[in-house]
Amino acid sequence: MKLHHRFADALPSLTSACQPAAPAAPAWAYFNQDLAQTLGLEQSEVLLAILSGQQPAPDSQPVACAYSGHQFGQFNPSLGDGRAHLLGELALGDEWLDVALKGSGRTPYSRGGDGKGTLAAMLREAIISEHLHALSVPSTRSLAVIQTGETVARLGPEPGAVLTRVAASHLRVGSFEYLAARGQTEDLRRLFEFTCQRHYPGVDEPLALLAQVCQRQAELIAQWMSLGFIHGVMNTDNMTLSGESIDFGPCAFMDHYDPSQVFSSIDRQGRYRYEQQPGIGQWNLTRLAESLLPLMPGSIEDNAEQARGVLNEYVEQYQAAFDRRMADKLGVDHADLRNQWLELLARHSVDWTWGHAMLPDRSEWLALFAGAADAEDWYRRWQALQPDLDRVRANNPWTIARNHRVEAALTAATQGDLEPTLALIRTLQSPFQRAQDWADFGPGDAAFYQSFKTYCGT
* Enzyme catalytic residues: 237
Counting contacts by CB under 6 A, is residue 21 touching ligand AMP? no
According to the binding rule CB under 6 A, does residue 61 interact with ligand AMP? no
For residues 392 and 386, give the distance between their C-alpha atoms in angstroms, rounded to a whole number.
12
175 binds Mg ion (CB under 5 A): no
- Residue 61 and residue 168: Cα distance in Å, rounded? 19
27: Cα within 13 Å, side-chain hemisphere: 9
Q: Is 60 helix (H, G, I), strand (E, B) or coil?
A: coil
Closer to Mg ion by Cβ: residue 70 or 402: 70
Q: Can you tell me which of 160, 243, 249, 281 binds ligand AMP, judged by CB under 6 A?
A: 249
* Residue (110 or 184) nearer to ligand AMP, CB: 110
| Residue 206 touching ligand AMP (CB under 6 A) | no
Please state, as a whole number, how many other Cβ atoms lie within 10 Å of the Cβ of residue 189.
14
Q: 350 - beta bridge partners?
A: none
Among 140, 169, 238, 276, binds Mg ion (CB under 5 A): 238
Instruction: Measure the CA–CA gap between 261 and 446, rounded to whole angstroms.
Output: 14
Quote the least distance from Cβ 247 to Mg ion, whole Å. 4
- The C-alpha atoms of residue 409 and residue 426 are separated, in whole angstroms, by 13
Size of the site for Mg ion (CB under 5 A): 2
125 binds, among ligand AMP, Mg ion, none (CB under 5 to 8 A by kind): none
CB atoms within 10 A of CB 213: 28
* 150 touches ligand AMP by CB under 6 A: no
Q: How many CB atoms within 10 Å of residue 430?
A: 13
Nearest to 83 by CA among 57, 60, 61, 65: 65
According to DSSP, the residues that pair with 161 across neighbouring strands are 147
Minimum Å gap between C-beta 110 and ligand AMP is: 4
Q: Which residue has its beta carbon closest to Mg ion?
A: 247
State how far the Cα of 141 lies from the Cα of 163, in Å rounded to an integer: 10
- Does position 457 bind ligand AMP by CB under 6 A? yes
Q: Which is nearer to Mg ion, 102 or 338 (CB)?
A: 102
Q: Are the C-beta atoms of residues 162 and 139 closer than 8 Å to each other?
A: no
Of the pair 16, 38, the CB lying nearest ligand AMP is at: 16
Nearest to 166 by CA among 51, 281, 17: 51
Binding partner of residue 233 among Mg ion, ligand AMP, none, CB under 5 to 8 Å per kind? ligand AMP
User: What is the distance between the alpha carbons of residues 288 and 291, in angstroms, rounded to a whole number?
Assistant: 5
- Binding-residue total with ligand AMP (CB under 6 A): 16
8 Å CB contact between 287 and 68: no
Q: Which of residues 358-377 bind ligand AMP (CB under 6 A)?
A: none
* Secondary structure class of 97 (helix, strand, coil): strand
φ and ψ at 245, to 5 degrees?
-70, 140
Site string for ligand AMP, 92-121 (x = CB under 6 A): ------------------x--xxxx-----
User: Is the CB of 234 or the CB of 254 nearer to ligand AMP?
Assistant: 234
Choosing from 8, 31, 81, 289, the residue that interacts with ligand AMP (CB under 6 A) is 81
Q: How does DSSP assign 208-230, residue by residue? A: HHHHHHHHHHHHHHHHHHHHTEE
Site string for Mg ion, 119-148 (x = CB under 5 A): ------------------------------
Residue 85 is a binding residue for ligand AMP (CB under 6 A): no
267 binds ligand AMP (CB under 6 A): no
For residue 450, with 0-12 CB atoms within 10 Å meaning exposed, 13-18 middle and 19 or more buried, which class applies? Answer: exposed
Minimum separation from the CB atom of position 249 to Mg ion (A): 8
CA-to-CA distance for 79 and 178, rounded, in angstroms?
9
- Smallest distance, Mg ion to C-beta of residue 366, A: 43
Rounded distance between C-alpha atoms, residue 25 and residue 124, angstroms = 21
Contact region with Mg ion (CB under 5 A), list: 7-15, 243-251, 266-274, 291-299 = 243-251
Residue 456 binding: pick among ligand AMP, Mg ion, none (C-beta 5-8 Å cut-off by kind): ligand AMP
Q: Which does 80 bind (CB under 5 to 8 A by kind): Mg ion, ligand AMP, none?
A: ligand AMP
- 456 near ligand AMP, judged by CB under 6 A: yes
Nearer Cβ to ligand AMP, position 138 or 457? 457
Query: How far, in Å, CA of 99 to CA of 3, rounded?
Result: 8
| Chain residues that interact with Mg ion, rule: CB under 5 A | 238, 247
| Chain residues that interact with ligand AMP, rule: CB under 6 A | 79-83, 110, 113-116, 233, 238, 247, 249, 456-457
